[in-house]
Each structure stands twice: as C-alpha cells, then as structure tokens.
Amino acid sequence: MLSVETYQTMAEAAGAMTDRSRFLGGGTLVMRAVNYGDQSFDRIIRSRQIENSIRSESGGIRIGAGATMADILASREVSFLHQVARLIGGPAIRNMATVGGNLFAPHPYGDLATALLALDARVVMTNGQAEPMESFLAGRSHARNLVTAVIVPNVSETEFRFAKISRVKPKGVALLSVAAWLRRGDVRLAWGGMGPTPLRSKAAERALSSGGQLDEAGIAPALAICTQDLQPADDALATAWYRREVAPVHLKRLLLNGGRL
C-alpha cells in the first residue's frame, strides 16, 4: 500500500527517507514507477520547500533541485544549458521534469546529468555538503541525502557543446548523448547512454587537453580511444557494439562542427 508523506523542509524530508521510499520531484520518474506497479518502494516523500531558483553566486550558478527544464529554458543565467534542456522530452515533460530528478534518471535518460558531468558541476545535498558530479553519480544508487541544488560554472556558449543522438525525430530518447567542455589545455567529455550512469572519457580528455587544434588531425588520437572508459550495454535502442562504433563518429562531429553534419 502506497503512502504519501509531505514535509515542510527538505531536511525533514531527508530524515524520513528509507530504502522503501522515493522522493517526489516533478513525478516523471516516480509516478511512472507507480503506474507500472514498482514494488521496490511504498512511500512517496514530498517537501513543500523545494529550491527552484536559478541564480549566480560567487562559486558559479546555483540551480535549485526543483527547477524544471522549462525553468532552465527561461533563465538567461544558464543559456549554455538551453541546448540540453530543449532536447529533453516534449513541452509537458519539460514543465515537470526537474534538475534534481535528472541526476537520478536511469539509462537511457539523464541528458542534463551528462551535461553537468562534463561541466564539473557540484551537487549540494541536504547535509550541506557539495559533491562533484562524478562521485555523486557513482554513488547515486545509495544516496543517503536529498539533493537541494546543483552549482554549475558559468561557461560561454562557445566552449560548451552537446549532442543527443536519437532515432526518432524530432523527439526521441537518446541512443547516446555527448557533452564537451572545451577549454584550452583542459577538456572534459561526458557521455550519456554509454554506461549505467553518465561517464567521462578520461583518456580522450587527456589526448584532447595535450593536443593541438580541434581539426581532423588534432582530434584523431582522442577519437581512437574515446570509448575505452565507457561501458555501453545492449538494450532495445542499440547494441553495445553499435554504440562503440558510432560514438567516435558523433564525437568527431561535435568537436569539428558543433554536432552538425
């Protein structure tokens, strides 16, 4: 039997979380699980005070966990994330799906989490700690606290690139997605759909960071090793083999042409 508990603050809600509960953000993951008879939880936990503002502060831009994809699209502070939010779901999903929820979205979802991993975002928890996206994602299946916000660096639109590869146009789930934060001598690459969580291509990052130009010859070493840190799986969208074959092609397009052919 399902119960719903609504708490005033996020801290109180965090205190009520157990292995048999799920925290409700926008509902696109939790209510879907309810509709399909998921028996792994029987309590839905809510909070009346979910941070949903997007504002600049000294360490970057703070995005409340309750901000939706539509909120991101309406915010000039995070214009570099518009290209990501625009590709998530349709308009109704974007009015519902939250930033906090996307951090927990299982494969094949989590396009925004992929972008945030490339951008080295920090995840702020109810205990006040801020954790890098990479370690957060590695431990997200047994997170002991709730996410209150994400802090993302303020990057220019020219140094951040994102591509979502879908079979169905104009809107379809990602076969894979790839995000690149391109700073001279310090490149970060993150992939969605290429493992159980969004993952980085650290070997390819090193090759790009120490390499020269973003031209065909300059990126070739990185392309050759870009899948070695990834763990794609076979699923209904594609085989792991196919994903490994096409990943370098999509990375090449992203690096040379900003994702366009």
Partner 1 sequence: MAKTPITFTLNDSEVALFADHGAALIDVLRRGVGDLTPKQGCAQGTCGACTVLIDGKPHLSCLTLAETVEGRRIDTVGGLANGRDLDVLQTTFMEGFAAQCGFCTAGMLLAAKSLLERVPNPDRAEVIEAISGNLCRCTGYEPIVDAILLAAAKMQGRAV
Q: Which residues bind partner 1 (CB under 8 A)?
A: 1-4, 6, 24, 26-28, 31-32, 34-36, 44, 46, 70, 89-93, 95-96, 170-171
Nearest to 65 by CA among 139, 5, 121, 135: 121
Least distance (Å) between residue 169 CB and partner 1: 9
- In the bound state with partner 1, the residue whose beta carbon lies nearer, of 95 and 154, is 95
SS3 238: coil
Helix (H) or strand (E) holding 132, with range, is strand 130-132
SS3 189: strand
Phi, psi of 41 (to 5 degrees): -145, 155
- In the bound state with partner 1, the residue whose beta carbon lies nearer, of 95 and 231, is 95
SS3 11: helix
CB neighbours of residue 189 within 10 Å:
26
Which residues fall within 8 angstroms of residue 38, CB to CB, at 6 or more apart?
none
Nearest to 31 by CA among 11, 10, 46, 48: 46
d(CA 226, CA 31): 36
Least distance (Å) between residue 159 CB and partner 1: 27
Least distance (Å) between residue 26 CB and partner 1: 8
SS3 174: strand
- In the bound state with partner 1, the residue whose beta carbon lies nearer, of 71 and 120, is 71
d(CA 97, CA 74): 14
Least distance (Å) between residue 161 CB and partner 1: 21
- In the bound state with partner 1, the residue whose beta carbon lies nearer, of 96 and 240, is 96
Answer positive or negative: Cα dihedral of 167, 87, 159, 154.
negative
- In the bound state with partner 1, the residue whose beta carbon lies nearer, of 91 and 258, is 91
Least distance (Å) between residue 97 CB and partner 1: 9
- In the bound state with partner 1, the residue whose beta carbon lies nearer, of 16 and 256, is 16
Least distance (Å) between residue 52 CB and partner 1: 13
d(CA 103, CA 98): 9
- In the bound state with partner 1, the residue whose beta carbon lies nearer, of 47 and 126, is 47
